[in-house]
Amino acid sequence: MFKLVFLNICLSCCCRFVITETGLTTCGFSCDLLEIFKMGEHQACVKLSEEKLIPRADILSLLRTYNCYHEGKNFQLRTREEDGELILEGLLNIYWGLRRPIRLQMHDDNERFQLSVAKKLPGEANNNPLDRPRASSEVSGEEEDSPQLLRTRSDASFMRVQRRIKTQTSENLQRLRTHRFSINGHFYNHKTSVFTPAFGSVTNVRVNSSMTTIQVLNLLLHKFRVENKCEEFVLYMVHESGEKTRFKDGEYPLVARVLYGPCEKISKIFIMEADLGEEVTYDVAQYIKFEIPVLDSFVEKLKEEEEREINKLTKKYSALKSMILHQLEHKALHSDRV
Ligand SMILES: *[C@@H]1O[C@H](CO)[C@@H](O)[C@H](O)[C@H]1NC(C)=O
């Protein structure tokens, strides 16, 4: 039987990615279908996680579409071989989905004040909450071109904040410092170095296909020098439908990104608090878009249906029961007579 496991349609170029059970390719994210490959075939495959593999030919085909979509942008992925293994490398967009503030390491005040704000390019939400000097000096020349890293180092609003602080009395300074500053929608508290990245804003990290969820999370936290432990966070693939799938620790986010397709209108990778996020299955996601009154009426309809089914079953079994009783009586009557 042909079972559709995974379908992705790119809104921009209208290409479709269909990965089916029969096509030797499985997604393994929204469903749990596994393709078990024989050991000898491993080389022809790319790992999606420790246990899940995708044929190399399929990933290469998806990659062509992926790179075509990102034509002329820095989000194209490169491939290389290492010990016969296919490695993908490139930038991975991660959206901030945090509800609580994060703590930032404070090295020295100068460094802490190197806050800058990403320029928003038309059509792209590229707010990097912080640009610490190290994060930008680490990057290669190519990444420097990335729209994510076009930043203004002399953000006017921030300079004003700094100047204001200098002219305050120590009492006022204290008061000012405890105040949460909002910088381009990102909240930043001077005193505690507590920071809440604007929900839904995007950042990116340079990763490769052999990096696990944990490694990608660590890289992101390291980039922004977040003090919180990696275990406090998780990555989710959030689908346009509202479907939300948590990346398991051993999964490879970049491979998943290629499988889900390049279009972020359809699916985005979010970083969220481990204790706040919740998976939303496809079945549930179908109902998310409805208003509460509509959902209430669904529940009402389901109740009515349940009621009808119960009545039907009750009638059926009481009919059976009375038939059996009748037969028993009949039998008893006959045996009495004998
Ligand atoms: C992937 O990137 C990580 C971190 O930069 C690095 O340690 C690792 O060696 C890379 N893996 C491959 C196969 O290139």
Q: Which one of 81, 210, 217, 220 would you pick to mutate in the ligand 1 pocket, going by the greatest count of ligand atoms within 8 A of its CB?
A: 210
**β-bridge partners, 152:** 117
Same domain, 264 and 326: no
How many Å lie between the centroid of ligand 1 and the Cα of residue 212?
A: 10
Tokens of 89: 């490398």
Same domain, 215 and 327: no
Same domain, 270 and 254: yes
CA-closest candidate to residue 94, choices 335, 303, 272, 243:
272
**β-bridge partners, 87:** 80
Pairwise CA distance, residues 48 & 28, whole Å: 8
Contact 181, 195 (CB under 8 A): no
Give this prediction's pTM.
Answer: 0.58
Is 149 within the bounds of a domain? no
Q: Reduced to 3 states, what is the DSSP secondary structure of residue 187?
A: strand
How many Å lie between the centroid of ligand 1 and the Cα of residue 207?
A: 8
| Per-residue model confidence (pLDDT) at position 107 | 54
- Helices and strands of the chain, counted as H and E runs: 10, 16
Contact 306, 49 (CB under 8 A): no
Is 164 within the bounds of a domain? no
- Nearest atom in ligand 1 to the alpha carbon of residue 87 is 13
- Nearest atom in ligand 1 to the alpha carbon of residue 211 is 1
Ligand 1-lining residues (CB < 6 angstroms): 82, 87, 208, 210-211
Name the closest-CA residue to atom 5, ligand 1: 207
User: At 76, which CATH number?
Assistant: 3.10.20.90
| Per-residue model confidence (pLDDT) at position 186 | 60
Same domain, 214 and 280: yes
How many Å lie between the centroid of ligand 1 and the Cα of residue 208?
A: 6
Tokens of 275: 């204790």
Write the single-letter amino acid at 128: N
Question: What total of structural domains would you count in the chain?
Answer: 2
| Per-residue model confidence (pLDDT) at position 134 | 35
Contact 52, 247 (CB under 8 A): no
Same domain, 94 and 207: yes
Write the single-letter amino acid at 187: F
Residue with tokens 């305050």: 168
- Residues 159-216 have pLDDT tens digits of 333 444 444 455 555 554 454 455 555 655 555 577 788 999 999 999 999 899 999 9
Mark the ranges of the chain whose per-residue pLDDT is less than 50: 1-43, 108-168, 176-177, 179-180
How many Å lie between the centroid of ligand 1 and the Cα of residue 252?
A: 12
| Per-residue model confidence (pLDDT) at position 85 | 79
Cβ contacts of 98 within 8 Å, gap of 6 or more: 196, 197, 199, 233, 271, 272, 273
**Distance from first CA to last CA of the chain, Å, rounded?**
60
CA-closest candidate to residue 263, choices 5, 15, 6, 4:
15
Same domain, 274 and 302: no
How many Å lie between the centroid of ligand 1 and the Cα of residue 78?
A: 13
Residue 322 lies in domain: 290-337
